[in-house]
Amino acid sequence: MSRIARAETARISFATSCRLLLAIAGAASLAACAQSPVGRQ
pLDDT tens figures, 1-41: 588 889 899 999 999 999 999 999 999 999 988 887 765 55
Residue 32: helix, strand or coil by DSSP? Answer: helix
Can you tell me the distance from the alpha carbon of 1 to that of 14, in angstroms, rounded to the nearest whole number? 20
Give the global pTM.
0.61
With contact defined as beta carbons under 8 Å apart, do 39 and 33 qualify?
A: yes
The count of C-alpha atoms lying within 13 angstroms of the C-alpha of 26, restricted to the half-sphere facing its C-beta, is: 6
